[in-house]
Amino acid sequence: MSDEATLSLMDLPSPILLRILSTLPPTTLLYVKTLSKTLLNLTLDSEFLKLSRSSSPAIIIIHQFNSNRTNTLKFLKFVVDYNFDHDPIGDVDLQLHFPVVQFFLVGSVHGFVCFNYFFDSVDSIYILNPTTREYIVLREPQRVRKWPNIVRYGFGFDPVKLEYKVVRIYQEEIRDDDTNGSRYYKSEAQVYTIGKGYWRSCAGHVMFWFGCWVEGVNLYGKIHWLVYDANRNELICSFNLENELFESFPTAPGYNKEICPNLRSLGGFGRCLCVCDNNADTHFEVWVMKEYGVTDSWVKQIVINITPECNNYWLCYEMINLVIVLDDGEVLFLWRDDFLFLHHPVKNTLKRVDVCDGNFVASVYVSNSLSLKNFKAEVVNIF
């Protein structure tokens, strides 16, 4: 047999391998990652991430909810000139299929969508795959949330162990009698690995407040939150999905503890962390951390001036979250939970995008036909 006949896929140059991997569907890609450390490392390469984004149109998942108890998933696809394509046939009426009053979207990873339902002493996590119409309900965790104690969630993927994990942050309020009853929070993590069938408490804790509503940002095998210490200083706290340890580092410039409410939110600007700051009444800005964990690498990436000439006073005084950065540099934002808007930093364009009535949250979504039945310890249901 000739030398040419014995060549394998791994003998191909890296640029060719990257292009091949970028065209694979998510289910195949997950399997390929388990075959070799070289292939796993290639899927973490920045060039692969760039190619994989360009090989398929961006899809946004919308979780719509409002006062008449609408509870619906919608899927929006970007088409020519970044207009939205919405097929109502693909909508999922959660209220029809699930015997709960209200879901709260935690996040979406590789086509799996994580929801939290809590009411009174019930605190449940649902993992759905809208493509296969399957779902699982995780076992109830210990330490029931009860005011003034607070619970936050995150959903992510460990690229080293190839595991999906739900992280539950239990925040216990502590009052200090020595300082006239001032309060702070002791936060601990519980982890559920999909397919294992149980929650585990992690060693260690952090003295941070994780807030009441915002869920974690999944990036680099870690879940991130904007948090506050006992002195009300803002920090970024991460939870490493591989070693299951907390880390923290300084937030973006511009934080002022005297401003209340604090209208800053954490997001992902491509493969970088970002902070959206809407505290000023003259402008809205986005800070991007160009080098992960490096304080000096924060750059003011976007500034939208708020002026009478631009007729954009509607930007003011509400929380704004970054949803996705598109291939041409245009950025999609969510204003409170009311509407989306697009901004192009170079062209300096700003346009509101009306996708549905009522209140909603939005997240990036990638369709995935991997069955939840592959996670052996879970009871899979159909909707």
The domain segmentation of the chain, as residue ranges, is 9-49, 56-382
φ, ψ dihedrals at 284, nearest 5°: -120, 135
Domain covering 56-382 in this structure, CATH number: 2.120.10.30
The rounded distance, in Å, linking the Cα atoms of 216 and 210 is 9
> Average pLDDT of the chain?
84
The pLDDT of 189-212, averaged and rounded, is 90
Task: For residue 125, give the nearest of 75, 66, 73, 192 by alpha carbon.
Answer: 192
* Phi, psi angle pair for 259, to nearest 5°: -85, 130
Cα separation of 236 and 248, whole Å? 6
240-252 exposure pattern, b = at least 16 Cβ within 10 A, e = fewer: bbeebebebebbb
Backbone torsion region of residue 5, taken as left when φ is above 0, otherwise alpha when ψ lies between -120 and 50, otherwise beta: alpha
pLDDT of residue 4: 47
293, pLDDT greater than 60: yes
Q: Is the pLDDT of residue 1 over 50?
A: no
Q: What is the pLDDT of residue 155?
A: 97
**Could you give the residue ranges of the DSSP H alpha helices within 197-236?**
none
Residue 34: predicted pLDDT: 65
pLDDT value, residue 172: 86
Per-residue pLDDT tens digits for 356-372: 888 899 999 988 888 99
Q: Give, as one character, the DSSP assignment of residue 215.
A: P
Q: Distance between CA 187 and CA 149 in Å, rounded?
A: 10
Helices and strands of the chain, counted as H and E runs: 5, 26
Is the pLDDT confidence value at 268 over 90?
Answer: yes
Interval 177-204 mean pLDDT: 84
Q: Tell me if the bond preceding 148 is cis, omega within 30° of 0.
A: yes
Give me the percent of the chain exceeding a pLDDT of 90: 47
